[in-house]
Amino acid sequence: MRYAPLVERITGKGAAAWEIHFDGERRRDSGEDIIFLTVGDPDQDPPAAIIEATVAALRQHRTGYAPIVGYPAVREAIAARVARRTGQACRADNVAVVPGTQGGLYCAVQCLAGPGDEIIVPEPIYATYGAVIGASGARIVTVPLRPETGFHPDLDAIAAAVTPRTRVIWINSPHNPTGAVLTPDEIAAIAALCRRHDLWLLSDEVYEDLAFARPHVSAWSLPEMAERTVVVSSLSKSHAIPGFRFGWVVGPPALARHLFNLLLCLFYGGPAFIQDGALVALSRDLPEVAALREAYRARAGMLSALLREAPGCRVVPPEGGMFVLLDIRGTGLDSAAFARLLLERERVAVLPCDGFGASAAGHLRIALSAPEPRLREAGARIVRVARAVMMDVAK
């Protein structure tokens, strides 16, 4: 039997990036003790106030259908949060509630671009970006981020990539997988490029509360950009609730109306009890959020220091986010081979980054999603594998 062309457009190298993770899961299920550092899945407890509000909503039987793009109070709380953080006006009609940042990006791209259009994305990219763009029928155009510049964007290269077919420039800060945090000047320059060429600026800001090196700057904060800026974010990382699948898209009111139609086809509204729990997080500055950020900052520093002892490797300390990038090209192995060896010899699962784009070839993405003792042990095991590989090379 034949399948639709869509099934080809949503596959690719990005999907292959998860093979080590899936193999690790099989080994764990068969009884092996695997240290998982593959997925950005927070290991910390969520804020108690969110859990209590969610449980209370369930007990009140808040299990029916909800408004398609979210309850008005939830959309108003998101809008107020955005306005407070960016200094720019944001109203409920700018907001649509979506199933996490991933779902929000998929829905946004479906409404912004289609067959014949091009979307420019600095690369390396998060593994699913290519499939999200492919699903829309648009073509991804990648612009390399160079390790020697700390994976910050080459603004001239982005400008040179614009063609008459370009519809969107898609940015991500703090960046996954590199941990780079865009500077205000970099974001302003990209915004100016969008204005000059009449383009959408799509900004993935899921790690906005996990910026270390400098404060996060939202694309929504930029002047004269409200009609062409789309920001997608969620509480998944900042509040340790990725399983809630609660996120939002902020953009022009017309986009929210188009998202209504798309979400009507896909989800018919997000769970009411989830929105009730999320409303607590949106309405308060919970102390656990700052504690999570500081925990990731400390873990990043600790693991980076450990990995500096790995021969043939170069650690890339993150400026934000919840990952450390390790350049293993000096060992002579590609990232998939090193990750496979690490899993088989030392029972540590990390993501090889070749599937994230050519700029990340020879790098491993190591999630900071384990308690410090476990993370410290994983670092020691990575160093051990690197030493063994370099000894083999010396022979």
Helix (H, G, I), strand (E, B) or coil at 199: coil
74, two tokens: 């939830």
pLDDT digits (tens, 9 = 90+) for 98-155: 999 999 999 999 999 999 999 999 999 998 999 999 999 999 999 999 988 999 999 9
pLDDT digits (tens, 9 = 90+) for 233-256: 999 999 999 999 999 999 999 999
The span from the CA of 162 to the CA of 201, in Å, is 13
Examine the domain organization and report whether 167 and 250 are in the same domain: yes
Examine the domain organization and report whether 209 and 293 are in the same domain: no
Which pLDDT does position 269 carry in this prediction? 92
Is the distance from CB of 333 to CB of 21 less than 8 angstroms? no
Alpha helices in 148-286 (DSSP H): 155-161, 184-197, 253-266, 272-283
- Burial class, 379, CB count within 10 angstroms (exposed 0-12 / middle 13-18 / buried 19+): buried
CA 96 to chain centre: 19
In sign, the C-alpha dihedral spanning 276, 105, 249, 369 is positive
341, two tokens: 């060896």
Query: Picking from 97-101, 272-276, 389-393, which range would have the lowest pLDDT averaged per residue?
Result: 389-393
pLDDT digits (tens, 9 = 90+) for 291-325: 999 999 999 999 999 999 999 999 989 999 999 99
Is the distance from CB of 294 to CB of 300 less than 8 angstroms? no
Examine the domain organization and report whether 212 and 104 are in the same domain: yes
Alpha helices in the chain (DSSP H): 6-9, 13-16, 19-29, 48-59, 72-86, 100-112, 129-136, 155-161, 184-197, 253-266, 272-283, 287-307, 335-346, 372-394
Examine the domain organization and report whether 333 and 216 are in the same domain: no
Q: At what angle do helices 100-112 and 253-266 cross, to 10 degrees?
A: 110
Is the distance from CB of 231 to CB of 256 less than 8 angstroms? no
pLDDT at 367 over 70: yes
User: Is 1 within a domain?
Assistant: no
The span from the CA of 376 to the CA of 374, in Å, is 5
Residues above pLDDT 90, as percent of the chain: 91
Examine the domain organization and report whether 214 and 337 are in the same domain: no
Supply the range of the domain harboring residue 309. 6-45+288-394
Which pLDDT does position 202 carry in this prediction? 98
The whole-model pTM stands at: 0.95
pLDDT digits (tens, 9 = 90+) for 187-206: 999 999 999 999 999 999 99
pLDDT at 14 over 70: no
Which pLDDT does position 18 carry in this prediction? 82
269, two tokens: 């509204």
pLDDT at 226 over 80: yes
Examine the domain organization and report whether 378 and 259 are in the same domain: no
The span from the CA of 203 to the CA of 82, in Å, is 13
Query: Which domain CATH number covers 245?
Result: 3.40.640.10
pLDDT at 16 over 70: no
Number of domains comprising the chain = 2
Examine the domain organization and report whether 209 and 305 are in the same domain: no
Is the distance from CB of 326 to CB of 182 less than 8 angstroms? no
Examine the domain organization and report whether 235 and 363 are in the same domain: no
User: Number of helices (H) and strands (E), helices first, in the chain?
Assistant: 14, 12
Examine the domain organization and report whether 82 and 122 are in the same domain: yes
